[in-house]
Amino acid sequence: AQSVSQHNHHVILSEAASLELGCNYSYGGTVNLFWYVQYPGQHLQLLLKYFSGDPLVKGIKGFEAEFIKSKFSFNLRKPSVQWSDTAEYFCAVNAGDSNYQLIWGAGTKLIIKP
């Protein structure tokens, strides 16, 4: 069965630190990849996505993610975090033949200390 693994359930960083959240998936075919974010008290919203082309994708608020096909990974990065980045981050994968279903990681709660 397809699965998505997020390596850290909780991450605590200080402002201006660099961030990398890991995401690995298990599916050998074509995939579409997503990172979603849920700020406290707000809807889940799309942070960035990869469908094809340049494996380094840029999203909102200075986030980026790199698709490394050989490692089945789609790690999320930000060079310098802010207090407002405190949120829960979810990685999700759509296999090319899955009829629009997304497979979700368990999420990573990120806390930024001011």
Partner 1 sequence: SQTIHQWPATLVQPVGSPLSLECTVEGTSNPNLYWYRQAAGRGLQLLFYSVGIGQISSEVPQNLSASRPQDRQFILSSKKLLLSDSGFYLCAWSVNNEQFFGPGTRLTVL
CB of 14 to partner 1, least distance (A): 24
CB of 16 to partner 1, least distance (A): 28
Q: Is 105 exposed, middle or buried (0-12, 13-18, 19+ CB in 10 A)?
A: buried
Q: How deeply is 14 buried, as exposed, middle or buried, from its count of CB atoms within 10 A (0-12, 13-18, 19+)?
A: exposed
C-beta closer to partner 1: residue 30 or 80:
30
User: Measured from the CB atom, is 12 or 16 closer to partner 1?
Assistant: 12
The residue ranges that bind partner 1 (CB under 8 A) are 6, 9, 32, 34, 43-46, 49, 51, 90, 92, 94, 99-102, 104-107
Residue placing its CB nearer to partner 1 in the complex, 19 or 92: 92
Tell the smallest beta-carbon distance from residue 106 to partner 1 (Å). 4
R_g of the chain computed on alpha carbons: 14
